[in-house]
Amino acid sequence: MRRKIVYKGRVQGVGFRWNAKDSVSGLHITGYVKNLSDGSVELLLEGELRNIIEAQAAVDRRMRGYWISRNHEDLGGEAHWDKFSIHS
């Protein structure tokens, strides 16, 4: 399964990408986190549904107070990434 989540709020310049990567480490998740030009952050999670839910909840908790809204979209297809990384 693949899920794209876009976080909006004060999410750039606060260590969001680094904290997201640290939050999902050890959860059998691949994908990436990156800043978007509109000031939001995109998180792409790939893995089993239970791991994706756990990873999203971990990022949500850790970065609470920085994001004011988030939207997610479940995507079809196979995993594209072999690890989780920070993209610029």
The CATH number of residue 13's host domain is 3.30.70.100
Domain total in the chain: 1
User: Is 87 a member of any domain?
Assistant: no
User: Is 63 a member of any domain?
Assistant: yes
Catalytic, out of 2, 3, 17, 70: 17
- Positive or negative: CA dihedral 71, 10, 55, 88: positive
Domain that holds residue 11: 2-75
Q: What is the pLDDT of residue 79?
A: 85
d(C-alpha 60, C-alpha 23), whole Å: 9
19 is catalytic: no
User: What pLDDT band is residue 75 in, cutting at 50, 70 and 90?
Assistant: very high
Q: What is the pLDDT of residue 76?
A: 86
62 is catalytic: no
Q: What is the pLDDT of residue 78?
A: 85
% of the chain surpassing 70 pLDDT: 100
Q: What is the pLDDT of residue 88?
A: 80
User: Is 88 a member of any domain?
Assistant: no
d(C-alpha 68, C-alpha 80), whole Å: 29
Contact assessment for residue 34 and residue 88, using Cβ atoms and an 8 Å cutoff? yes
Least confident segment among 11-15, 52-56, 79-83:
79-83
Catalytic, out of 19, 35, 51, 62: 35
Q: Strands 2-9, 41-46: parallel, antiparallel or unpaired by DSSP?
A: antiparallel
